[in-house]
Amino acid sequence: MNLSLLCQIESNFVEIAPTQLTLHGAHVHPWLEGRTYSLLELREVLLARTTPNQVRDALWRHTMQAARHSQEWMIGALGLTMPLLRGCVGRAGRGLDPDNVQFIEAELVAFTIRQIRTATLDHGALGYYLLCRVRRAALGERKRALVAAAQRDWGSVEAADFEDEPETARSCELVLQAAVRAGIVTAAEAELIARTRLEKSTLVALSTETGVAYKTLAKRRQRAETRLAAALSASPRQASNSSSLEASAPVSPGDRGRVSEVARPKTSKTPWPLAS
The three-class DSSP label of residue 270 is coil
Most confident of 53-67, 174-188, 248-262: 53-67
Q: What is the mean pLDDT of residues 233-259?
A: 50
Question: What pLDDT digit, counting tens, does each position of 155-180 carry?
Answer: 544 443 444 455 556 677 778 888 88
Give the bridge partners for 37, in sequence order. Answer: 23
Task: Pick the closest to residue 110 from 261, 236, 6 (CA basis).
Answer: 6
| 270 confidence band (pLDDT: 50, 70, 90) | very low
Strand-pairing partners, residue 209, are none
d(CA 56, CA 47): 9
Three-class SS state of 271: coil
- Summarised one tens digit per residue, pLDDT across range 36-80 is 999 999 999 998 989 998 999 999 999 999 999 999 999 999 999
Supply the pLDDT for residue 156: 47
Whole-number mean pLDDT of the chain? 81
Q: What percent of the chain has pLDDT over 70?
A: 78
CA 198 to CA 152: how far, in whole Å?
29
pLDDT at 83: 92
When pLDDT is averaged across residues 215-237 and rounded to a whole number, the result is 83
Mean pLDDT of all residues in 230-259 = 54
188 vs 273, which has greater pLDDT? Answer: 188
